[in-house]
Amino acid sequence: MSAGVTYARGFEAAAVAAGLKPSGRPDVALLVGAPGTVGAGLFTTNDVAAAPVTLSRAHLAAGGGRGVLVNSGQANAATGARGDRDAAAAVAAVAAGLDLDPTELLQCSTGVIGEPLHMDRLLGALPPLVAGLVDDGGADFAEAIMTTDTVSKQATADAGRFRVGGAGKGVGMIAPSLATMLAFVTTDAPIERRDLQGMARAHLSPHLESISVDGCTSTNDSVLLFASGAAGGPRLRPETDAWRRLAAAIEQVGASLASQLIHDGEGATHVMLVDLTGAADDRAARALAATVADSPLVKTALFGGDPNPGRILQALGTAGEGLDPETIDVWVGPTQLVHGGTIPPAYFEADALRGAAVAAMASPEVSIRIAVGDGPGTSRVLGCDLSYEYVRINGEYTT
């Protein structure tokens, strides 16, 4: 059965090995929707955005979004005017093969920053790529977008008679500078183009923006949502029951991809779920939770299996949110380790309090719950530990 991005009807995908990656593994992928397919996109906030990000933003603004060309191997970032020309030429070649206007296609790249696209190899691989499009190409698509991912990531969900599917790759910047989180989600529900961006922002973004391996936003991060309408019927209108059911399915696919991405984070041996409540608003909650999830001291403590409530407090205090320490409670697993900003002295006496928290730290998914007051702001951020393997991947591989 077709999976991933081709689970929803009205989509075809394909992949080839063009030789952009030294490994010789598949490295170019294509996803195209049936006529009438509309697209939406969320992109990196990095000031140094890659050429394909600039191209995709422009093509979406011009009304495009029928499909996307993806390559791994080179990120086509920090490549100057040459990078823009290369991105445009690759998309133009695919568009010609599909008899589309180039602006109908988007583009994503992931790989080495600064290295120019190997255009001769890429252009030579595009005709067989276009010729290979099939309605069960989702698995090939998911594999070709991998860099140092150890497994491919796909997810599917249903919303009544509508289907939702997705694929994602990477998390963390990967040696030697292989970067980027990419996620692609498709649905066969009929949605107006102008409504799709709202759906992506409200229901896809929160999950895929809640994960952090090392706090490093890449130059190429992109999340794309496509709707083919191939399931038929009238266009869904926002905030109807059918819309909400579809939104729930899209959230389910987004949450699954986010979880798969963080579990495959560079060198990760444990994942932490940082749930923060009581902040002034959701933005403050997210900033606080992310500061904990990104703290190298919390991350090394997670690696070492040490609950270390002092490091969690230390991290919270540096978020710049003006916390009153006396409002802070922290739980590791089921055990409360901070009461109103104070760590119980019993914690340091090797008793049951510490033992229960240490046991919770042994779980593959460690829950860290934090309350900082009685405000309405909440957030969940998924993080992972900082291990020897992270240092090895990012430090030793210097080619």
- Which residues inside 274-293 make contact with a second copy, applying CB under 8 A? none
**C-beta of 182: minimal distance to a second copy in Å?**
16
Residue 310 lies near a second copy (rule: CB under 8 A) = yes
**C-beta of 349: minimal distance to a second copy in Å?**
10
Tokens of 377: 């702001």
Q: Which of 6, 103, 147, 180 is catalytic?
A: 180
Residue 71 lies near a second copy (rule: CB under 8 A) = no
Considering only 5, 18, 112, 225, the residue that binds a second copy (CB under 8 A) is 112
Taking alpha carbons only, the member of 160, 157, 349 closest to residue 253 is 157
Considering only 30, 164, 328, 353, the residue that binds a second copy (CB under 8 A) is 328
Which sign, positive or negative, has the C-alpha torsion 303, 219, 179, 264? positive
Which sign, positive or negative, has the C-alpha torsion 153, 158, 184, 104? positive
Stretch that binds a second copy, among 28-36, 98-106, 185-193, 344-352 (CB under 8 A): 344-352
Q: Rounded to whole angstroms, how far apart are CA atoms 35 and 171?
A: 32
Residue 366 lies near a second copy (rule: CB under 8 A) = no
Residues 176-205, interacting with a second copy (CB under 8 A): 176-177, 179
Nearer to a second copy by Cβ, of 54 and 205: the residue is 54
Residues 206-225, interacting with a second copy (CB under 8 A): 214-219
Q: Rounded to whole angstroms, how far apart are CA atoms 141 and 135?
A: 11
Residue at token pair 């568009």: 95
Residue 317 lies near a second copy (rule: CB under 8 A) = yes
**C-beta of 69: minimal distance to a second copy in Å?**
22
Q: How many residues bind a second copy (CB under 8 A)?
A: 75
Residue 11's alpha-carbon distances to 96, 154, 193, 398, in angstroms, are: 19, 15, 17, 39
Considering only 47, 99, 239, 374, the residue that binds a second copy (CB under 8 A) is 47
Non-local (6+) Cβ contacts of 47 within 8 A are none
Burial (CB count within 10 angstroms: exposed 0-12, middle 13-18, buried 19+), residue 233: exposed
Considering only 23, 205, 300, 378, the residue that binds a second copy (CB under 8 A) is 300
Residue 49 lies near a second copy (rule: CB under 8 A) = yes
The residue type found at 388 is Y
Residue 80 lies near a second copy (rule: CB under 8 A) = yes
Residue 348's alpha-carbon distances to 43, 130, 340, 345, 354, in angstroms, are: 45, 63, 17, 6, 8
Q: Rounded to whole angstroms, how far apart are CA atoms 350 and 337?
A: 13
**C-beta of 92: minimal distance to a second copy in Å?**
22
Q: Rounded to whole angstroms, how far apart are CA atoms 19 and 73?
A: 9
**C-beta of 354: minimal distance to a second copy in Å?**
10
Is 180 noted as a catalytic residue in this protein? Answer: yes
**C-beta of 399: minimal distance to a second copy in Å?**
8
State the catalytic residues. 180
